Amino acid sequence: MNDSILATAAITINAPVTKVWEALVTPSLIKKYLLGTEVITDWQEGSPITYKGVWEGKPYKDKGKILEVEPGRLLVSTFWSSLAGEPDLPEYYKTIRYNLYVEGNDTILTITQDKNKTQDEAGNSELNWKAVLAEMKKLIES
């Protein structure tokens, strides 16, 4: 497995960083832009994070751990998908990094996901993240 293939997506949101951060860590808001996913965590470093929902008619329960939290700047967690067909073992957990940058009145949000096995998998992940970010931007800016 090549752990070095990264998927990256970024978006500029016309909103203060506090509003973008709120959208990243508020379960009722996450549900609106993340395909109806229910997120359960306390957002503390070392705490578990669970994602529950239905994707293409299949229920899922994905999970991970919160690794780093710097409010308004950085959120890092691991992520394992029950739909990926991989065993629930540490080597199959991806790391997701959300970096927030202030640029004038805007916030730039960048998401990076590691451990994509192929360039195609990374490309699919990037497309998915871009769609999520577009939904988030709509929600925050409306």
pLDDT, averaged across the chain: 94
pLDDT computed for residue 3 by the predictor: 53
All structural domains of the chain with their residue ranges: 7-141
Mean pLDDT of 72-94: 93
pLDDT computed for residue 85 by the predictor: 85
Mean pLDDT of 4-12: 94
pLDDT computed for residue 55 by the predictor: 83
How far, in Å, CA of 31 to CA of 25, rounded?
Answer: 11
**Confidence check: pLDDT of 1 > 90:** no
Handedness of CA 110, 113, 118, 121 (dihedral sign): negative
pLDDT: is 45 or 55 the higher one? 45
CATH class of the domain comprising 7-141: alpha beta
pLDDT computed for residue 62 by the predictor: 94
Reported pTM: 0.93
